[in-house]
Structures are given as structure tokens and as C-alpha cells.
């Protein structure tokens, strides 16, 4: 059984930064693509970013490209999301997820992920 636990959410002013962490256990973390998704109130869940199992390749939603950075530390079984220049529209519950595979192909689709964390709230005030 895989467990994913997010942390690092909170309240921040527009233009500020937050760093989310997701600690994984239960399945060999280093061999799977990891992703971040978010869901704002009244909206569907949307893809934010994904990272290959090596950490060498990343993929971002256009809405966060240039502001967010996904990274991973396989020795610590942890994936991170550094969020800079935050905007009020970034307000959402952020979820990390573990992909079924090792490539970034299709990594923006939630159906490609079989384990999800409980989420952490990020609120950006204007």
C-alpha cells in the first residue's frame, strides 16, 4: 500500500512563495513518475506538474510554467513543488500523485496515477 503525505500549504500574499512536499512510502518511489495536481472550489481537478523517475525531465501546465518548479529526492522518497510569484488563481487544494509508469507520456492525465495524497490547502490572498 502506497501512502503519500503532502505538507507545506498555507496562506500567502500574492507574489509570495511556498514549497510543498510530498513524502511517499510503500512502493519503490524512485521508479515512478510523480505529479502534482490541484483543485479549486467548484472546479475540476487540474494538472500542475510532473517529473520523471530520474528527475531529469519535467512537464508543466502552461498556467504555472516559469513560476513553479517540481523536483524530487529519491533518497528521501520525497517530491517537491516550489511555487513562486503566486497568484490568487493558484488558490486550491494541491495533491501529489504517483504515476503507474516511468515515462512522462500522458502524465497530465489524472487517470495515469493510481495513488493520491490527501491534499494540502494553498490560499493566495490579493
DSSP 107-120: TT-GGGEEEE---E
Contacts of 44 (CB under 8 A, 6+ apart): none
Question: What would the pLDDT profile of 69-122 be if each residue is shown by its tens digit?
Answer: 999 999 999 999 999 999 999 999 999 999 998 889 889 999 999 999 999 999
Could you tell me the sign of the dihedral formed by the alpha carbons of 95, 100, 104, 105, in that order?
Answer: negative
Name the DSSP letter for residue 111.
Answer: G
Partnered with residue 98 across adjacent β-strands are 34, 115
**Mean pLDDT score, 13-20:** 98
Residues 82, 25, 46, CA angle at the centre, nearest 5°?
Answer: 45
Amino acid at each position: 500500500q502506497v501512502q503519500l503525505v503532502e505538507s507545506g500549504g498555507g496562506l500567502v500574499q500574492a507574489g509570495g512563495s511556498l514549497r510543498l512536499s510530498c513524502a511517499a512510502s510503500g512502493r519503490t518511489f524512485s521508479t515512478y513518475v510523480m505529479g502534482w495536481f490541484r483543485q479549486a472550489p467548484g472546479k475540476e481537478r487540474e494538472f500542475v506538474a510532473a517529473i520523471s523517475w530520474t528527475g531529469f525531465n519535467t512537464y508543466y501546465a502552461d498556467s504555472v510554467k516559469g513560476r513553479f518548479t517540481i523536483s524530487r529526492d529519491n533518497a528521501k522518497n520525497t517530491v517537491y513543488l516550489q511555487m513562486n510569484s503566486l497568484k490568487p488563481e493558484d488558490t486550491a487544494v494541491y495533491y501529489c500523485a504517483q504515476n503507474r509508469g516511468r515515462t512522462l507520456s500522458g502524465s497530465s492525465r489524472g487517470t495515469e496515477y493510481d495513488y493520491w495524497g490527501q491534499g494540502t490547502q494553498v490560499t493566495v490572498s490579493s
